[in-house]
Amino acid sequence: DSQTTAFLLRKHWVLYSVTPLYKFSSAHLKVYAKLLSAFIAAEKQKGLAVEVGVELDIKVAVTSLPDLKGSDQDEAAILVQLSLRSQASQKKSEEKLVWSGWFCSVCGDDLSKNMPEDFTCLPVFLANGAESYTSIVGSWFQKTFDCCFHRLAISPLNLSWMAAMWTGCKVDETASAMELVFSVPHLPQSLDILYAIHPEDAKALWDTVQKTPGEITQEEVDVFMDCLYSHFHRHFKIHLSSTKLVKVSTAIASAHCDGIIKFLQSQYVIEVLMLLTELAISQIQ
């Protein structure tokens, strides 16, 4: 389990929401890989027709990640990897991973229930690598499975939820500091404020705020953030509530409002994905 998720850790993933895929079947992943690699080659070579099945510079692997799901109703996650075959040395083993992206759904029942069987619900797509590849792969999926990709931005409200949720999670190792980045609006030059809190202090604060373990309410999140704000105001006389929360990083994960996420703890990947699935579904519906 941790091996499959190991490659997800400590990478910046750009988030997208994806509408249900039409006529996608996990039984044909190999065929998809072949078609996709020919498509990439055709796009890269600026208009040359490319025969499907011949050896190409870019190798595409489409695989299933059966462990990456929340419930039995979820579809297994699908991983797409692009590797570059080095042309200098003829050895096949020398392949360099240049881009990866994966579709997943963790407890996405809201979307998948009552969905006709021709549709596959994998509402979150995460990409790491050059945007040009994301664009080609995304276009191919859109064209082939009649779906739509859209950047999944994270609102400040959802970022504060993440801050509160992740503060409460237990981490074995000595954790790094919790960091919140705020951006001050309406200034000629951009001004960001970095607010770092010792993880144990943050946890202690959260424990006093949270009433029932395992359950979080909007009110509790508000109280937690207000406490942090008033502490900051006491020292610096700055009202953080008038600024915009743009980034949250904790020992669990870090998230940026532009829709970029970094997983740091393999045991919490599923929890983070559950929240992202929820956000993606609300963007789709």
Partner 1 sequence: SEKMQRKKGSGTPKQPLQDRQKSQSDLSAWRKGGTIDPEKSVQDHQSLNDQEANSKQDSLEPALSYFAKVQDHISLKRNSALQRHLATVESIALQRGLPPEAFDVLLNAALSGKLADTVNTRLLKSLIPDSVIPETSVVSSVSWLCVSKCSSNIQVLFLRWLITFFDFIDHKEELHALYGFFFYFLQDEKMCPYVCHVLYLLTRKENVKPFRVRRLLDLQAKMGMRSHLQALLSLYKLFCPELVTIILPAKTKTYFKNAEGPWKAAIKTIRQRKQKNSPVPQPLLLGTAQPRSRKRKWNTQLMIPASSTNRNHLEEVRQKNSDLYSTDECFPVEQLQTFPQLLQNIHHLEFPSRMGSVLTNPLLLHYMNCIKDESVYLRLYYWLGQTLQEECTWCVADNSQHEEEFKDFLETLCSAQCFLQEGLSPCEEFLYRSLPLWDGLCCRSQILRLVSWIPLNSFSEMKSHLYDPLAQLFFTSSLYFKCSVLESLKGLLQNWLNWQMVHLDSASDSRIHSLNTTFSGLLNMVAELIHFVGMISTVALRLESDHTFLLYFILDFYETVCDMYLKYNLPLLIMPPAGVFYPMLLSMDSVSLNQLCYIMYRYRTNLVAAKENEQSKKEIQQFRFSNETYKEYNQYITAMVGCLWTSNAFQKDIHPQGLRMDDELLNKTAVEEFRTSFNIVYHPAMIGYAVLFLQQACPGDITFNFNLIKKNWYLEYLYAQGLEGLKVFIESSINRVSKAS
Residues that bind partner 1 (CB under 8 A): 19-20, 22-23, 25, 28, 31-32, 35, 38-39, 41-43, 45-53, 116, 118-119, 131, 134-135, 138-139, 142-144, 146-150, 283-285
Which residues have CB under 8 Å from 188's CB, separation 6+?
A: none
Q: Closest distance between partner 1 and the C-beta of residue 111, in Å?
A: 10
Q: Torsions phi, psi of 222, nearest 5? A: -60, -45
In the bound state with partner 1, the residue whose beta carbon lies nearer, of 142 and 266, is 142
Strands (E), 185-263: 191-197, 244-249, 253-256, 260-263
In the bound state with partner 1, the residue whose beta carbon lies nearer, of 13 and 32, is 32
Q: Closest distance between partner 1 and the C-beta of residue 119, in Å?
A: 7
Q: Torsions phi, psi of 92, nearest 5? A: -70, -25
The enclosing H or E element of 120 equals strand 119-120
For the chain, the farthest-separated pair of C-alpha atoms sits apart, in whole angstroms, at 67
Q: Closest distance between partner 1 and the C-beta of residue 48, in Å?
A: 5
Q: Closest distance between partner 1 and the C-beta of residue 147, in Å?
A: 7
Measured in residues, the chain has a length of 285
Sign of the CA dihedral running 24, 25, 28, 33? positive
Q: Closest distance between partner 1 and the C-beta of residue 193, in Å?
A: 22
Q: Closest distance between partner 1 and the C-beta of residue 177, in Å?
A: 32
Query: Cα angle at 256 between 141 and 126, to 5 degrees?
Result: 20
Q: Any idea what DSSP says for residue 21?
A: E
Q: Closest distance between partner 1 and the C-beta of residue 151, in Å?
A: 8
In the bound state with partner 1, the residue whose beta carbon lies nearer, of 125 and 268, is 125
In the bound state with partner 1, the residue whose beta carbon lies nearer, of 135 and 230, is 135
In the bound state with partner 1, the residue whose beta carbon lies nearer, of 6 and 148, is 148
Distance CA 108, CA 75 (A): 9
Which amino acid appears at position 143 of this protein?
A: K
In the bound state with partner 1, the residue whose beta carbon lies nearer, of 199 and 259, is 259
Closest residue by Cα to residue 127 from 108, 147, 99? 99
Distance CA 254, CA 231 (A): 22
Question: Which two tokens mark 227?
Answer: 């406490």
In the bound state with partner 1, the residue whose beta carbon lies nearer, of 105 and 210, is 105
